[in-house]
Structure 1
Amino acid sequence: MAASARSVLNRLIQHAVHPKGSKPASSSSPSVSILRHLDSGDLPKAIAILSSAAAPFPVPVYARLLLLCSSRRSLVDVRRVESHLVAFSPSPSTFLLNRAIEAYAHCGSPADARELFEEMPRRDGGTWNAMIAAYALSGIPREALALFSSMIGLGIRPKEVTFASVLGCCSDLLACFVARQIHCLVLKYGYFPNVILATSFVDVYGKCLVMDDARKMFDSITNPNDVSWNVIVRRYLEAGRSTEAILMFFRMIREGAKPLNFTVSNALIACSEVLALKEGHQIHVVLMKFGFEEDNVTMNSLMDMYVKCGVVEDARQLFDQLPSKDVVSWTVMVSGYATCGRIDEAEKLFDLMPERNVFSWNALLVGYVHLFDWDKALDFFCRMLRESKEIDFVSLGSILNVCAGISDLDRGKQVHGFAYRHNIESNLFFTNALIDMYAKSGSLRNAENIFYITVEQRDAVSWTSLITGYARYGRSEEALLSFREMLCEITPNKFTFSTVLAACANIFMLELGKQIHAYMMRNGIELDVIIRGSLVDMYSKCRSIEYAIRVFQEEISRDLILWNSMILGCAYNGLGNYSFELFEEMQKEGIAVDNITLAGVLLACISEGYVDLGRRYFDLMTVEYGVIPRIEHYECMIELLGKHGFMVELEEFIQRMPFEPTIPMWIRIFDCCREHGNKRLGERAEKCINESNPLNPVKFEMLATT
């Protein structure tokens, strides 16, 4: 479009220089010389002739000069042209001064543009539009809107192009209220239907997340162009309404419109967001129909969609068939392999990359972090520091996740210092990782300091990281207090609810737990398997097992954590037989048991006094269930045998243990021996306890029986 406008302007200038029926100017005249240099693109020679002439030039000459200065972004030359125009023209053309304002804007000097604007003796609508556009182009939307307001106050009627500029500024500022006022003005001046203005309103309403208004405006466009379709698909995607974005894309295809490559890309990204593999396949057919097979933007988005939907082999097939692979293509595949846990293939592909950027490095680094492979992540980050200078907030945030995972507070502080020196710490992703690292490492004071510094930008992740830190280190009251404050500022996410329910369980706050449960139901928050597991755990620990069972039975899809929570909850609340029923049902549904499940079963045996059954489950742990007994299973067996008076069996069990009992185990053994009578084992327990704590010795004496 710009090239077409330039061609029309050139023809107009040529017509002005050589009007029909007039004699051509002398080939040696300054005007002709300047135009000849402009035709050949020699701006310095054209400016030199202009500067040496002490007389005004025709309007087309100045216009051509300003146009070339603008395209070359030559601010100094724009100033020279404007100075010559003002100095030698007794009454400078408003048209030319408007072009000078535009040229200053394109050269990145809105201050020069505003100075000229203020000095102009006469202004027309084009002058105001040029200055408003100058501010918009220079990224100063507030000044543009202020100038537009002054323009309206003076009774100057804006043109369609002026409205388009100010609507772009409203988009930048997310100024929905101002956009609605401008909407009224557009209706007042009768500028509808106008596809450009209507698309601008779709854009601003979409960016302000009032998608219903954006959709109404889009539907009012009689013949949407390709830009209109792209905007509505993109805004639905950015508003988190990926399904509607996909539907609008297919509506576009049904109505016979040809999509832009970015429209196809956005639709594929929407499929990635909601794992819509079937629709992604259909879009694959569409892009082939319109000949986008060699367009890297669409093909990279297609590969990413297949990766996100779990069909990595389809993505690899596309990758191998690409006629030209850019760094994004390679990065998508590396990220795909790393994300799905195929880290060896990700490493091989990464090493084959002809070029890498920071996203490529981050793709593999994030893969290591997701797999909790802390050592490889640290080694890879060191390699990244040696071979690449491109360290960004994702790189540092990932290393902070590693520091949090291994509770390496000192290294985390070093990363914090590095980010501070390189002015990266203001990024929200990095800030949240920093809060999480300090909170998980037990440095809650530092976590609080970072959290309260970011008051203007913190989100649900920030709050959740701090609340999790409080709950993790036994400060449940502070966790719940922070949760109350969070509700006044932002809507919690499911991880927040899970954490605060755990805090309620820790301090047996049943009533508050019920209130949180009710809050989630009132506000339509999905009670997924994670939250239901937390609810079951909270109700179980607060001795409200009936509610726990009700929550458990409402869930159709149950994962291992939910089953474990219910089995443990019943065992803790004296419903060991129901724990056994759940254990059998769990196995029938094909859920593989783990060490926590078996700990719950052993606790149920303790609760019901089923000593032989408990011994059988313990003996079958490795053979039948593939679980190696851990310290908690040995503790359960000591409790099971000791509590129910099987002292001979207890002594034999201790002899067979692959490790020496811990001090807490010896203390429990000591108590059981005193209660049920086993002098030899009791005195052995006494010796071990006293050796560990000689300042506070115990003395074994069997309790008197009545």
Structure 2
Amino acid sequence: MGVNPASVLNRLLRNNTRKPTTQPTNANSTINRILTHLNAGRLRKAVSILFGFPEPFPYSLYARLFQLCSSNLAIVEARKVESHLVTFSPAPPIFLLNRAIEAYGKCGYLNDARELFEEMPQRDGGSWNAMITAYAQGGCPEKALLLFFQMNSSGVYANEITFASALGSCAAILALFLSRQIHGLIVKYGFYGNVILGSSLVDVYGKCWVMSDARRMFDEIQNPNAVSWNVIVRRYLEMGDEKEAVIMFFKIIGENTTPLNFTFSNALIACSSISALNEGIQIHGVAVRIGFEEDEVVSNSLIDMYVKCGKLESAHRIFDQLGSKNVISWTSIVSGYAMSGRTGEARKLFDEMPEKSVISWNAMLAGYTRFFQWEEALDFIFLMRKTSKDIDHVSLGLILNVCAGLSDVEMGKQVHGFIYRHGFYSNLLVGNALLDMYGKCGSLRSARVWFYQMSHWRDSVSWNALLTSYARHGLSEQAMTIFWEMQWETIPTCANIFALEQGKQIHGFMTRKGYEIDTVVRGALVDMYAKCRCLEYALRAFKQAASRDVILWNSMILGCCHSGRGREVLELFGLMEEERVKPDHVTFQGILLACICEGLDELGRQYFNSMSNDYCIIPRLEHYECMIELYSRYGHLDKLEDFIKRMPFEPTVPMLTRIFDACREHGHLRLGEWTAERLNESNPSIPFRFEIMDRVKLDKL
């Protein structure tokens, strides 16, 4: 039944009078019938009885029904309960409407939850918390944070649950700056010693890759609980510091705290990654002492640890001791034997598996391919396709390895067709395996064609596969050409991923081997060094250029902008003019960004006007955005208002939003109201009201 969750409430709030209903039947007997159904787990039947009774029930019954709707994800029943509540209770208590919001949120119906939230005549902290939590748990972290800011601006104090939801939202979008601001609010409102919030801060700092802050925050928790310890161990593991993860696990034992089963698992995964067998054995002993050896999560991790540390017998002993074996434990032991070369034993175990997943099939196939057992692998592939419909990118990569091992290019082409038909062609692992297969089968033309089709997602493995294929077939001259192409393509890649050391090595290699560094390659070098914030090297490469075109100048100018060196940008522009290099729209974007960095609003205006007056360059959208940011950031709102009126087009929504923020921050009423009207015209479903701070600056809280 699709009852609108807020329309009924809205109608009743406008008209608090209700007509007399028919004489009620025995209410107590009806309540008892409902409770009987609830105790028996028959939620739908209980709600149908409720919905057919035209009188209000005790609030405690509604509360229990909302809770059960939440836990059972019963959206239809939740709507019925809320409809009955607002129909027969003229002024429902806030706490029950909060429970309704929680139910809608748990069921994933966030629009219904927000609609009810907006229609509530009065809200308390629980209302805000219910809605923020709904957004946070429903995969809408930005909306959760925006509502959190609105809550603070309206004078409602957050509690620990609200703060935890806000921090969880920050972790979801890696919003480090916002996390620090919320951390400040936690201290301000007296929640600093709260172990839940302390653990949440450890979690968000760890997810934002600031482990020094995560560790400092953890050390400040006076009495960390098992969850706190699990968070810090997990974050160290994800950061690649497996050694510290293991050390932290043993500190838990020293504190006489019982670790969670997932903490055991994380510590054992860390041991597996660094082959720390002795530490893994000690953790095994702790698990036995605590009674966790039978735990499914721990036992699977123990098997995997022993397998990866080369102790198959120990892994098998644990496997045999398991009371019930799941697909994970079966797959781990099969993989251990297969990847150790004992494929016969692995296959016997595989055939005994009561249930198989695609990972299980891949584990067995990987064993065959690793030890070049191509015929066995081919038979296994036919069996896999006959008995299982599951296949993933790992399966396809392994199948292509078998095609390469058998030099069967025709079968490889059939796999290529399957890859296209089923949408796997953009997967890098599959693409590289396909490239390797064509090369090893001697089909260099197909390899080259596929290589160029991979242009948007190929990596160094792709280049190496093609290079090796040409070298293997004695085509050394073509191989050197490919190697040269790889060098200049890799340099921009280093800039994009900030791989400074790799970029330096390529630059050094080219210099040592006497390669001619032309304008294109030099531009790539300047761009790479600038984006990696290594301006000294960028300037050195820039000065060594025999001639500098506008693209090279732009790379240097934007590089200085990225490093916050606005004054150097203006100096470079002066030198550019001296060399009579005509600037373009990118040049002026860099200049305006430099003016923003240095707070030079008047100079920015002069440069903006000179684009069309002196250089015949029509300003683009990004130039107008820069000017709006320049005036907004430094509070020159009268100049901003004049600038907007002179624009040859209507401001975009992002522009209006930035202007609106600036007006709220600096208190410019006239422009703020005008901006709010334009925003409401563009999106009337989300009203902007200037007297309400819709987008709060955290540093103003």
Pairwise TM-score range, normalised by the shorter structure: 0.5 to 0.7
Instruction: Quote how far apart the aligned CAs of 1:159 are.
Output: 1.1
CA distance in 2, matches of 1:169, 1:468: 46
Instruction: Quote how far apart the aligned CAs of 1:322 are.
Output: 2.9
Instruction: Name the structure 2 match of 1:334.
Output: 334
- Indicate conservation of the 8 Å contact 1:128/1:151, yes or no: yes
Q: In the TM superposition, what whole-angstrom CA distance separates every residue of 1:397-430 from its partner, at most 9, and x where no partner exists?
A: 2223334555655544433443444344555544
Instruction: Name the structure 2 match of 1:445.
Output: 449
Q: Which has the larger radius of gyration?
A: 1
Instruction: Name the structure 2 match of 1:351.
Output: 351
Report the AA paired with residue 150 of structure 1. Answer: Q
Report the AA paired with residue 365 of structure 2. Answer: L
Q: In structure 2, the residue corresponding to 1:354 is in which secondary structure?
A: coil
Report the AA paired with residue 52 of structure 1. Answer: G
Instruction: Quote how far apart the aligned CAs of 1:308 are.
Output: 1.1
Instruction: Name the structure 2 match of 1:618.
Output: none
Deviates more, 1:480-489 or 1:422-431: 422-431
- Indicate conservation of the 8 Å contact 2:66/2:103, yes or no: yes
Deviates more, 1:124-133 or 1:408-417: 408-417
Structure 2 residue 39 is matched with structure 1 residue 39: yes
CA distance in 2, matches of 1:273, 1:411: 36
Q: In the TM superposition, what whole-angstrom CA distance separates every residue of 1:580-615 from its partner, at most 9, and x where no partner exists?
A: xxxxxxxxxxxxxxxxxxxxxxxxxxxxxxxxxxxx
Q: In the TM superposition, what whole-angstrom CA distance separates every residue of 1:65-97 from its partner, at most 9, and x where no partner exists?
A: 212222222111111111122222222221111
- Indicate conservation of the 8 Å contact 1:294/1:322, yes or no: yes
- Indicate conservation of the 8 Å contact 2:494/2:500, yes or no: no
CA distance in 1, matches of 2:322, 2:138: 38
Instruction: Name the structure 1 match of 2:83.
Output: 83
Deviates more, 1:371-380 or 1:235-244: 371-380
Q: Given the superposition, is the C-alpha separation of residues 155 and 266 from structure 1 closer, same or farther in structure 2, using an over 3 Å criterion?
A: same
Q: In the TM superposition, what whole-angstrom CA distance separates every residue of 1:230-279 from its partner, at most 9, and x where no partner exists?
A: 11111111111100001101111111111111111111110110011111
CA distance in 2, matches of 1:161, 1:470: 61
Structure 2 residue 491 is matched with structure 1 residue 484: yes
Structure 2: state its 5+ residue gaps.
1-24, 473-477, 518-524, 530-701
Q: Given the superposition, is the C-alpha separation of residues 140 and 421 from structure 1 closer, same or farther in structure 2, using an over 3 Å criterion?
A: farther
Report the AA paired with residue 453 of structure 2. Answer: N
Q: Given the superposition, is the C-alpha separation of residues 432 and 158 from structure 1 closer, same or farther in structure 2, using an over 3 Å criterion?
A: farther
Paired residues for 1:33-182 under 5 Å = 33-182=33-182
Instruction: Quote how far apart the aligned CAs of 1:377 are.
Output: 2.5
Instruction: Quote how far apart the aligned CAs of 1:60 are.
Output: 1.2
Q: Given the superposition, is the C-alpha separation of residues 88 and 322 from structure 1 closer, same or farther in structure 2, using an over 3 Å criterion?
A: closer
CA distance in 1, matches of 2:37, 2:321: 48
Deviates more, 1:321-330 or 1:296-305: 321-330
Structure 1: state its 5+ residue gaps.
1-24, 514-518, 524-706
CA distance in 2, matches of 1:71, 1:134: 14
CA distance in 2, matches of 1:327, 1:76: 36
Q: Given the superposition, is the C-alpha separation of residues 213 and 393 from structure 1 closer, same or farther in structure 2, using an over 3 Å criterion?
A: same
- Indicate conservation of the 8 Å contact 2:334/2:346, yes or no: yes
Instruction: Quote how far apart the aligned CAs of 1:395 are.
Output: 0.9
Q: Given the superposition, is the C-alpha separation of residues 429 and 172 from structure 1 closer, same or farther in structure 2, using an over 3 Å criterion?
A: farther
Q: Given the superposition, is the C-alpha separation of residues 240 and 416 from structure 1 closer, same or farther in structure 2, using an over 3 Å criterion?
A: farther
Q: Given the superposition, is the C-alpha separation of residues 27 and 111 from structure 1 closer, same or farther in structure 2, using an over 3 Å criterion?
A: closer
Paired residues for 1:188-587 under 5 Å = 188-405=188-405, 410-425=410-425, 427-434=427-434, 436-437=436-437, 442=444, 443-452=447-456, 454=457, 474=479, 475-490=482-497, 509=513
Q: Given the superposition, is the C-alpha separation of residues 206 and 429 from structure 1 closer, same or farther in structure 2, using an over 3 Å criterion?
A: farther
Q: In structure 1, the residue corresponding to 2:454 is in which secondary structure?
A: helix
Q: In the TM superposition, what whole-angstrom CA distance separates every residue of 1:199-219 from its partner, at most 9, and x where no partner exists?
A: 111111112221111111111
Deviates more, 1:55-64 or 1:190-199: 55-64
CA distance in 1, matches of 2:80, 2:28: 22
- Indicate conservation of the 8 Å contact 2:451/2:462, yes or no: no
Instruction: Name the structure 2 match of 1:11.
Output: none
CA distance in 2, matches of 1:155, 1:436: 63
Instruction: Quote how far apart the aligned CAs of 1:376 are.
Output: 2.9
CA distance in 2, matches of 1:147, 1:471: 60
Paired residues for 1:678-689 under 5 Å = none
Report the AA paired with residue 136 of structure 2. Answer: A
* Higher relative contact order (CA closer than 8 Å, sequence separation 6+): 2
CA distance in 1, matches of 2:439, 2:122: 64
Q: Given the superposition, is the C-alpha separation of residues 41 and 313 from structure 1 closer, same or farther in structure 2, using an over 3 Å criterion?
A: closer
Q: Given the superposition, is the C-alpha separation of residues 160 and 466 from structure 1 closer, same or farther in structure 2, using an over 3 Å criterion?
A: farther
Instruction: Quote how far apart the aligned CAs of 1:512 are.
Output: 10
Q: In structure 1, the residue corresponding to 2:66 is in which secondary structure?
A: helix
CA distance in 1, matches of 2:323, 2:350: 19
- Indicate conservation of the 8 Å contact 2:203/2:214, yes or no: yes
CA distance in 2, matches of 1:425, 1:154: 51
Residue-pair matches, total: 484
- Indicate conservation of the 8 Å contact 1:419/1:425, yes or no: yes
Report the AA paired with residue 285 of structure 1. Answer: G
Report the AA paired with residue 445 of structure 1. Answer: V
Instruction: Quote how far apart the aligned CAs of 1:179 are.
Output: 1.5
Q: In the TM superposition, what whole-angstrom CA distance separates every residue of 1:90-123 from its partner, at most 9, and x where no partner exists?
A: 2222111110011112222112111211222222
CA distance in 2, matches of 1:291, 1:400: 45
Percentage identity across aligned positions?
A: 56
Report the AA paired with residue 242 of structure 2. Answer: S
- Indicate conservation of the 8 Å contact 2:246/2:271, yes or no: yes
Report the AA paired with residue 231 of structure 2. Answer: V
Report the AA paired with residue 140 of structure 1. Answer: C
CA distance in 2, matches of 1:82, 1:333: 52
Q: Given the superposition, is the C-alpha separation of residues 273 and 63 from structure 1 closer, same or farther in structure 2, using an over 3 Å criterion?
A: same
- Indicate conservation of the 8 Å contact 1:476/1:504, yes or no: no
Report the AA paired with residue 56 of structure 1. Answer: P
TM-score, with length taken from structure 2: 0.63
Report the AA paired with residue 448 of structure 1. Answer: Y
Q: In structure 1, the residue corresponding to 2:402 is in which secondary structure?
A: helix
CA distance in 2, matches of 1:347, 1:500: 46
- Indicate conservation of the 8 Å contact 1:101/1:116, yes or no: yes
Q: Given the superposition, is the C-alpha separation of residues 319 and 41 from structure 1 closer, same or farther in structure 2, using an over 3 Å criterion?
A: closer
CA RMSD of aligned residues (A): 3.3
TM-score, with length taken from structure 1: 0.63
Q: Given the superposition, is the C-alpha separation of residues 78 and 242 from structure 1 closer, same or farther in structure 2, using an over 3 Å criterion?
A: same
- Indicate conservation of the 8 Å contact 1:201/1:214, yes or no: yes
CA distance in 2, matches of 1:385, 1:106: 40
Q: Given the superposition, is the C-alpha separation of residues 274 and 84 from structure 1 closer, same or farther in structure 2, using an over 3 Å criterion?
A: same
Report the AA paired with residue 476 of structure 1. Answer: F
